[in-house]
Structure 1
Amino acid sequence: MSINKAQGQSVKQVGLNLQSSVFTHGQLYVALSRSTTKQGVKAIFPEGNNDCSTQNIVYPEVLLD
């Protein structure tokens, strides 16, 4: 299920593939907050990403002045 389709739903387990960055931290929040428990969240990070972080992707060209 995509992050957008998960919005407004609650599920027991959430698996996140973070090998490529999410569009915004808001999307990451929605994905993480769908799980009913923190034990129900599993994430895959790129190899060598020892700090378990992801980039916040921003496209300045789409932001209005």
Structure 2
Amino acid sequence: MQRHIDDTQLLDSKTRRKLEDQRRMQFRRAIEERLESQRLDREFSDYPDLIAVNYLKSAKGSARSARPAG
């Protein structure tokens, strides 16, 4: 049975710290994107009629682009 080996244990401290910082920043960006998405959801939930209008506009636009040229 194979054991899981953590590659960071084989690296020097500077490289290991750099990789940890990269992972931390990636995690932080994901949290910020999630919070931004939630904020936008809250803002748009105040205007459900705008969501419906935008949906209808996009549906019309996709129906036009789906028609064959000719």
Q: TM-score, normalised by structure 2?
A: 0.22
- Which structure is richer in relative contact order (CA contacts within 8 A, separation 6 or more)? 1
Q: Which has the larger radius of gyration?
A: 2
More helix per residue: 1 or 2? 2
Q: TM-score, normalised by structure 1?
A: 0.24
